[in-house]
Amino acid sequence: MTRRFALMIDPAAADVDRSDFAETFTLVDAAAPALSVGELSTQRGDGVFESIGVIDGHAQEVVPHLERLAHSAQLCDLPLPNQAQWHQAIERAAAHCEQGEYVIKLILSRGVEHGPTPTAWVTAAPASDFSTVREQGIRVVTLDRGYDLDVAEKAPWLLLGAKTLSYAVNMAALREAHRRGADDAIFLSRDGFVLEAPTASLILRVGDRFVTPAPNGGILHGTTQLSVYDYLAGKGLVAEYSRVPASDLPRADAAWLVSSVRLAAPITAVDGVDIPVDHALTAELNDYLLSPRD
């Protein structure tokens, strides 16, 4: 899988009432320079994004991703993306994806400094091979995020509920996890509650119920977590949101990090403490997540 695709979007043209947005797209060479040196996405990380998994040419959970993109844009005082325009751009990108797993990225930036309009684009590229971590699992460490659970309500300017391009902290957390001999990290609030991973949502199984941290406190509402909950509910299982104390993590009967591209990766250890792995349910969840879903 080597095919890469890039499409620039004209957000200003979305104000016109139309059903076909093809004229608002510009196909660009994915390997060639396409952004201005004054672009604020690269200068300041001033923008928002989404990553959509693509299975055999089918983009997964497009509507939830577009809804979250709009939510992030609203939190960042960016113009709301035209859903129909972006949906058509995703369809065009997915049409260039071959068999197998790809990832489509949606990026909405504030644009060039002092420029008149935002910059927006869509890319598609082969996804990394996550088959091993889906089967063998990952070890995680907990890292203090430095905020109390209610900070998002007290300080909305921190943009903790937005999926922004400012991912330096997330990447630093992953590097710290690797320095500690783990594969990934789980953020904790300063007052001792579980939040999320740098690039994934957390789901715990406690007895016969499933729990994920409530999407507040700056936690992104994970699109893959929502899909997993739909699947579990369809099987008659209890799947709920709650405040999860950090002390509950190593006592879980099973746990997963879930995301749009990695899908469901079982957690094998938390801070060096082994936890059980439900291999059968993990395989079942990944079979479901690898099937076409809208």
User: What CATH number corresponds to the domain at position 75?
Assistant: 3.30.470.10
pLDDT tens-digit map of 218-276: 788 899 999 999 999 999 999 999 999 999 999 999 999 999 999 999 999 999 999 99
- Looking at the fold, whether 188 and 228 belong to one and the same domain comes out as yes
**Containing structural domain, residue 10:** 5-126
Residue 253 lies in a domain: yes
* pLDDT tens digits, 170-187: 999 999 999 999 999 999
Where is the domain boundary, 102, 126, 150?
Answer: 126
Claim to verify: residue 156 and residue 275 sit in the same structural domain: yes
Task: Give the total number of structural domains in the chain.
Answer: 2
pTM summary value: 0.94
Of 126, 142, 172, the one marking the end of a domain is 126
Tell me, yes or no, whether 294 lies in a domain: no
Percent of the chain as helix, strand, coil, to the nearest 5: 30, 30, 40
Token pair belonging to 53 = 């998994």
Same domain for 166 and 105? no
Q: Any idea what the CATH number is for the domain that residue 232 is in?
A: 3.20.10.10
Encode pLDDT of 184-215 as tens digits: 999 999 999 999 999 999 999 999 999 999 98
Task: For residue range 31-88, list pLDDT tens digits in order.
Answer: 898 899 999 999 999 999 999 999 999 999 999 999 999 999 999 999 999 999 999 9
Q: Of the candidates 156, 163, 142, which has an alpha carbon nearest to the alpha carbon of residue 50?
A: 163
Confirm whether 66 is domain-assigned: yes
Mean pLDDT, the chain, rounded, equals 94
- Residue 144 is encoded by which pair of tokens? 């203090």
Give 193's contacts (C-beta < 8 A, 6+ positions apart).
Answer: 149, 213, 217, 243, 244, 245, 246
1 pLDDT higher than 60: no
Question: What is the CA 198 to chain-centroid distance, rounded?
Answer: 9
